[in-house]
Structure 1
Amino acid sequence: MQKHTTRIFVYAMSILLFIVSFLYPISDNVFASSKNEYYNETYRPQFHFSPKQNWINDPNGLVYVNGEYHLFYQYNPFGNTWGNISWGHAVSKDLVHWKHLPVALKPDDLGMIFSGSAVVDKNNTSGFFKGKKDGLVAIYTSSGETQQQSIAYSTDQGRTWTKYAGNPVIKNPGIKDFRDPKVFWHDETNKWVMVVAAGNKAMFYSSKNLKGWAYMSEFGAEEGAQLGVWEMPDLFELPIHNDPKKTKWFLKVNTNPGGTKEGYRSQYFIGEFDGTTFKNDNPPDTVLWTDYGKDFFAAQSWSNVPDRRIWIAWMNNWQYAEKIPTNPWRGSMTIPREVTLIEIPNKGVRLIQKPVEELKQLRKEKYMLKNQLVIPKTNLLSKIKDDTFEIVAKVELDSAKEFGFKVRKGEKEETIIGYDAVENKLFVDRTSSGETDFSEQFPEKFEAPLSPKDGKIKMHIFVDRSSVEVFGNDGKAVITSRIFPSPKSQGIEVYSIDGNVKLNSLEVYDLKSVWKNNE
């Protein structure tokens, strides 16, 4: 009887599945595929780092050692708004797939664990690693009644940490905002250098052992954008056009709170650093933005990476960071980017950002077009539906005044990634991108100056469940933006206005999720 009942049940389910498949046929979309249920909540990024749950903000302590990239980050272990700030921790072997580790640094009698950096103490200058080749030292801000700089060390590849008994190593000098130390070894002067944000400027300190620090100089009180206090500095030397004999020093800081339209933004300076002072190459009122969107903040670069400089940023903005509609987590990181410098005639040395090559391993199905004319009111991509994908486009200007892509397109929502050929501007318009009513400062259009090269524009676009990152002309202009569309909005459109443009080449890749249950 039991076997007979089982047969009837299986037969009935087969008929039901046939009826369901007839009424709701499998989509013929180019990129139709099943998704892993893990890390699959609405708006959950599929190839950006985000915590399993709770709040995150700034990346911290980025260091590469023994084949592992360490990502520490500002973390609230107890909720998805800011508070109880500790250092969360994850590691990766390829900058793409991440393994979550236990919280690394927790608040203590000196206060919460604010942002900072980490280094490999290769020569045991600190004395923490007797009998060992080297170890990791984290330098962070203890934020209690005042903000002071402290250190901790690890002898087991960052899995456990011991706070230095002599903390703080730099006491507060009477400045309210005194935080986010970035430390590196300066070969020419044979010492550790720290740059720390201090109100509306950066201050520089030096040390021989990471414990005792001496003040050297300061920079910035009357330089660049003075829209608020400075935060999260980073300082490193980069080659120009990949020529190791021709270099400049690159100093990045964030503005907090920033202007109403700009939000909390990140700016940079190009100049010289002699181990003691930084000198700006540009006039003091020159403002150079790292990113023209609102969601690239607190970028920090990995230390100890051979032959290239890679950084990552918090993909959010304090204007609405605690209001974005995600759960049970809130906050994520950008994709990692390799940074270099180029010299632009009549402008000087400028930053270039490109997605790291390791991201190419996520590419799955590919849709290609070559030498196709984009005509108004037509869509060459009408068959593609996707919510996590990459676009690589080379466009030859013609008569169109505007062209670009509409992504995460639904009945009433879309995010427009376009180029204004009249004003020579790359832009992202998220005013109708989906959920926007959680903040009146969210639905905006962002623009970046970008001139054609040989009459052509390149766009490299990454679209995830709740973000777009756009790299124009090989990273000369970058726009990062959060979006919160309906999961059903998966249309993609290539468009032109008031004329035609030619797609010299177009590649669209479906991208795999980086998250698995056993990660």
Structure 2
Amino acid sequence: MSRLISRILFIVLFFSVLALVAQDAHDMYKEPFRPQFHYSPPCRWMNDPNGMVYVDGEYHLFYQFHPFSETWGPMHWGHAVSPDLIHWETLPIALYPDDNGPIWSGSAVIDVNNTSGFGENAMVAIFSFQNQTQGVAYSHDNGRTWTKYEGNPVLPAVHHDFRDPKVFWHEPTGRWAMVISAGREVLFFTSTNLTKWDYASNFSGGHQMSIWEVPDLFPLTIDGETKWVLLVSVGDYSPAGGNGIQYFIGDFDGERFSVEDSEQILWMDYGSDNYAGTTWSNAPDGRILYIGWMSNWKYADRTPTSTWRGANTLVRELTLVHTSEGIRLQQTPIAPDRAQNTPLGVWDDIVLDGDYPLEGIEGRLLDITLEIEPGTASEVGLRVHDGANEPTTIAIEQATSELVVRRTDQTGPGEYISDFTRVTRGPLPIEGDTVTLRIFVDESSVEIFANDGMLVISNQTFSDPQNTGITLFANGGTATVRHMEIDAVPSIWEGAEIADYDFCQ
């Protein structure tokens, strides 16, 4: 009898523990400030996305991950997959530190023709070790398990800031090409087999006030002509303070990148929180799909989140368009399907003079489309996460022709995040009578795409979790909202299968 009772107690305890673990796993995505439709890891620290590649119906997102802390530490490659770039499943850690050191950022490709000898259609990752040498690993099961190349490292550290290789197949020359950062420039290498690399050239220009990191290079077509876009993350002194991403539009012949004006500075995002982003390899239909780390090294380790720290931007499709100032990059968000959203309202021709609270309309997860005629107002816009204190304000400032975002970092009474830029600004020429804004509001972020993605501002913001209001306003005159739609966005984690990850114990 005692044995039977012991077994019954064991079984009850076992299933109680299982239930508790399952509850804990789901509670991971219900913490204050947890993003609900942006990817964040179930726990611990995340920074740069890297190694993004598409194969067999899955978009792979690898990322810099520290499984033992909510601050930066020895880097691993975390791993998540998605069928649609919206809903994500976190998988076990892909790459671990080895005798060469922790695994920093890099890229991944599908070696269709087995140029490496690792096997036909092998997924091959090319990355930096922390000591700034470069390594290679390969997978035969779509990134679930990996084998490190026994000849690592494949490139020595030629500079003390030599890192973040982006590798791609250059069809005209029939070779692999690599762009990699080295101080305040990028270097180009070529290879026929992904393991032996030859130096080709260098490129420098633009913003030179800080080191360059996480470069990317990809072709885009405009008017039937192929141009090449070089992205470079810069470590400091961006328009919003701290890190940011500049880009160049030029030509690439498989070895050398060139632009007409190498000193011109073009910024991808005027917010504080879009850094170290790159694009997917092997994306369907040749689309150029981008994702960034939604944080800033100025304060990344001090944001008021618990159990996890770090999230990604929404994915954006990149294209080139003509503007009055020349060819520029356009960003179109890959957003949650509006058919799955809950419509909160549609408005037309609202005349604003002062505050205009949207009574009965509230939420913290929002997709907002606005068409505004600024009129005589000196400033017109809206406040989201509005409440008794510390809302997030998005405004068109006519005197400066800028889009301005005022955000909060008040984490408690008298408690603030140091080095957190509270006001960010981006140039917003008002062409014609109206400005269009697409605004995505998550629990702790806003992403604004102005005038069809010609200006983008991505910011974290930490307003009181009780704040759910929305208020339109016009100051110093009148303005008109010609059209507005607001949807509530469902959480991508609601009803999702969330595993019990070893690294979250």
**How high is the TM-score relative to the length of structure 1?**
0.88
- Pairing of 1:438-477 with structure 2 (within 5 A): 438-477=416-455
AA aligned opposite 1:315: M
Match of 2:396 in 1: 419
Q: Can you give the 5+ residue segments of structure 2 that lack an aligned partner in the other structure?
A: 1-25, 499-505
Q: What is the CA-CA distance between 1:413 and the residue it aligns to? A: 1.3
Does 2:139 match 1:154? yes
Aligned pair count reads 470
Q: Report the residue type matching 1:178 in the other structure.
A: F
Contact 2:163 2:182 in 1 (8 A): yes
Secondary structure of the 1:55 match is: strand
8 Å CA contact 1:272–1:281 kept in 2: the answer is no
1:147 counterpart SS class: coil
- 1 CA distance for matches of 2:379 and 2:280? 38
1:135 aligned onto 2:122? yes
Q: Do the aligned partners of 1:184 and 1:193 also contact (CA within 8 Å) in 2?
A: yes
Give per-residue Cα distances to partners, 1:160-186, cap 9 Å, x unaligned: 00000011111112x100000000000
Deviations 1:253-285 (A, max 9, x none): 111243695211111111111111111232x33
Q: One-letter code of the match for 1:157? A: N
Q: Secondary structure at the match of 2:254?
A: coil
How do 1:62-461 and structure 2 match up within 5 A? 62-129=52-119, 133-143=120-130, 146-173=131-158, 175-220=159-204, 223-240=205-222, 243=223, 245-258=224-237, 262-282=241-261, 284-307=262-285, 308-345=287-324, 347-357=325-335, 359-360=337-338, 362-379=340-357, 381-431=358-408, 437-461=415-439
Quickly say closer, same or farther: Cα 1:443–1:437, change in 2 above 3 A: farther
Helix, strand or coil at the partner of 1:39: helix
Select 2:485's aligned residue among 493, 503, 507.
507
**Shift of the alpha carbon at 1:486?**
1.3
Alignment partners' CA distance in 2, 1:64 and 1:117: 12
Amino acid in structure 1 at the alignment position of 2:392: T
- 44-53 or 446-455: bigger deviation: 446-455
Could you report, residue by residue, the CA deviation over 1:22-65 in whole angstroms, capped at 9, with x for unpaired residues? xxxxxxxxxxxxxx856110000000000110000000100000
Task: Tell me, yes or no, if the aligned pair for 2:405 and 2:425 is still in contact at 8 Å.
Answer: yes
Deviation by residue 1:103-153 (Cα, 9 ceiling, x = unmatched): 000000111100000001111111111xxx41200000011xx31111100
Cα pair 2:273 2:293 within 8 Å, conserved: yes
Partner of 1:5: none
Quickly say closer, same or farther: Cα 1:48–1:261, change in 2 above 3 A: closer
Q: Tell me the SS of whatever aligns to 2:300.
A: coil
Residues 517 and 288 of structure 1, relative CA distance in 2, 3 Å threshold: same
Distance in 2 separating the partners of 1:70 and 1:259: 29
RMSD over aligned Cα, in angstroms? 1.6
C-alpha displacement of 1:409? 1.0
Cα distance in 2, alignment partners of residues 344 and 253 from structure 1: 22
Code of the aligned partner of 2:186: A
Looking at structure 2, the residues matched to 69 and 261 of structure 1 have their Cα atoms a distance apart, in angstroms, of 31
- Relative distance call for 1:505 and 1:322 in structure 2 (3 A) is same
Aligned-residue sequence identity (percent) comes to 44
Amino acid at match of 1:134: N
Q: Is the 8 A contact 2:28 2:307 kept in 1?
A: no
Structure 1 portions without partners, runs of 5+: 1-35
Looking at structure 2, the residues matched to 254 and 487 of structure 1 have their Cα atoms a distance apart, in angstroms, of: 32
Deviations 1:266-315 (A, max 9, x none): 11111111111111232x33211110011000011011012311110000
Deviation at residue 397 of structure 1 after TM alignment: 2.9
Change (3 A) 1:39 1:269: same
Residue identity matched to 1:298? A
CA spacing shift, 1:150–1:362, aligned 2, 3 Å: farther
Amino acid at match of 2:228: W
Alpha-carbon distance in structure 2 between the residues aligned to 1:259 and 1:457: 25
Tell me which moved more, 271-280 or 360-369.
Answer: 360-369
Question: What is the Cα deviation at residue 392 of structure 1?
Answer: 0.3
Alpha-carbon distance in 2 for matches of 1:80, 1:260: 27
Give the CA deviation at 1:437: 4.2
Letter of the 1:390 partner, please give it: D
Cα shift readout 1:215-237 (whole Å, capped 9, x = no counterpart)? 000001xx111121110000001
Note closer, same or farther for the CA distance 1:368–1:259 as it changes in structure 2 (3 Å cut): closer
Q: Aligned equivalents of 2:340 and 2:388: distance in 1?
A: 29
Q: 1:358 to 1:185 in 2, by over 3 A?
A: farther
Asked if 2 retains the 8 angstrom alpha-carbon contact of 1:71 and 1:91, the reply is: yes
Amino acid at match of 2:146: W
**Are the structure 2 counterparts of residues 76 and 384 from structure 1 closer, same or farther at C-alpha, using a change threshold of 3 Å?**
same
SS at 1:498 equivalent: strand
The letter for the 2-side match of 1:205 is F
For residues 123 and 285 of structure 1, the distance between their equivalents in structure 2, rounded to whole angstroms, comes to 39
The whole-number CA distance in structure 2 between the counterparts of 1:91 and 1:237 is 25
Contact 1:362 1:513 in 2 (8 A): no
Gap change, CA 1:352 and 1:201, over 3 Å in 2: same
Kept in 1: contact 2:110–2:124 (CA 8 A): yes
Segment drifting more, 367-376 vs 74-83: 367-376
In structure 1, distance between residues paired with 2:188 and 2:216? 11
Instruction: Report deviation, 1:517.
Output: 4.6
- 1:3-36 per-residue CA deviation (whole Å, 9 max, x = no partner) reads xxxxxxxxxxxxxxxxxxxxxxxxxxxxxxxxx8
**TM-fit CA distance, 1:377:** 3.2
What is the CA distance between 1:383 and its match in structure 2? 1.9
- CA–CA distance in 1 between the matches of 2:340 and 2:420? 30
